Amino acid sequence: MGRLDGKVALITGAGSGIGRASATLFAQEGAQVVCVDIDEATATATVDMVVAAGGEAVAVRADVSSVADSETMVQAAEDTFGGLHVMFNNAGIMHSDDGDAQATSEEVWDLTMDINAKGVFLGCKFGIPAMTRSGGGSVINTASFVAHLGAATPQVAYTASKGAVLALSRELAVVHAREGVRVNALSPGPLRTELLMKFLDTEEKKQRRLIHVPMGRFGLADEMAKAALFLASDDSSYITGSEFLVDGGITAAYVTPE
C-alpha cells in the first residue's frame, strides 16, 4: 500500500529537478499526478516516465504567474482525476542576472517575484478551495534556505521571493487549519539541479557555496522529493505552518568546517 493511495497530487515545475523527482515518487506511492510546467514538452516527458513505471499522470502547460493558467491547472486535476489532495507549489526561477540591489534590474525583480511568490499565491488561491472540496489535504510550498541566510553569492530577488513564500505558508496554515488543509514550506539547501548549477556557473562559485555546507556536498532532487512525500502524506498529519529545512546543515553552521 502506497503512502498516497487514493490521492490526487498537482506538482508545478514538474518538468525537471525537484518537481520531476516528486512526480515519479508520488506516483510510485499511489498518487494520480498532474504534472504542470511552463514547458509542456518537459511535463510530458515526466508523465511518460510515470506511466512507464506503471503510474497515472497527465501533463498541463501553465505559467504559474497567470491567474487563468493557475485556475486551469487546478481545474484539470478535478476534471481528470476527480479532486485534489496534494498541492506542491514548486515552480521557481533563479535568474542569472539576479545580484545585489544595485545590479538587479526591476525586470528581473518583477519576473522572479511573479513566478516564485505570486505563483505560490495563485496556486494556493485555486488549489486550497479544490482541496476543501475534496475533504482536505496538504499544500507544500517550495521556499529555500536563503530565506534564513544572506547568500555568499547575492541573489536578492530570489532570496526575497523565498522569504515571502515562508510568510505566506505560515499565514495560510493558520487560516485553513480548521478546514483540514495543511500548509507547510519545504526549504531545500543547495542542490545539484540544473537551476542552481546554471546560477553557480563556475567552480569558484560552486565552492563558495559548498564551503558553508557541513555535509560538504550539494543535495539531490530525489532527497527533496522524499521530504515532500512526508509532507504530502498522512505521516505529517499534525504538521502545519511549519518549515522543513532539508539543507545539509547549512543553516545550522556558524564556523565553516575544514
Report the SS3 class of residue 133.
helix
Cα–Cα distance, 11 to 13 (Å, whole number): 7
Question: Which residues are tagged catalytic?
Answer: 158
Query: Residue 47 CA to chain centroid, in angstroms?
Result: 18
- Which residues on neighbouring strands pair with residue 35, listed in sequence order? 11, 59
> What value, to the nearest 5°, has the Cα angle with vertex 197 and ends 164 and 60?
65
Residues in the chain: 258
- What is the C-alpha end-to-end distance of the chain, expressed in Å? 45
- Contact (CB, 8 A) for 32 and 6: no
Write out the E strands in 113-215. 137-142, 181-188
Cα–Cα distance, 116 to 162 (Å, whole number): 7
Q: What is the DSSP code (8-state) at residue 182? A: E
Cα 78 to Cα 48, 57, 172: the distances in Å are 21, 13, 22
| 30 backbone dihedrals φ, ψ, rounded to 5° | 105, -5
141 conformational bin, left if phi > 0, alpha if psi -120 to 50, beta if neither:
beta
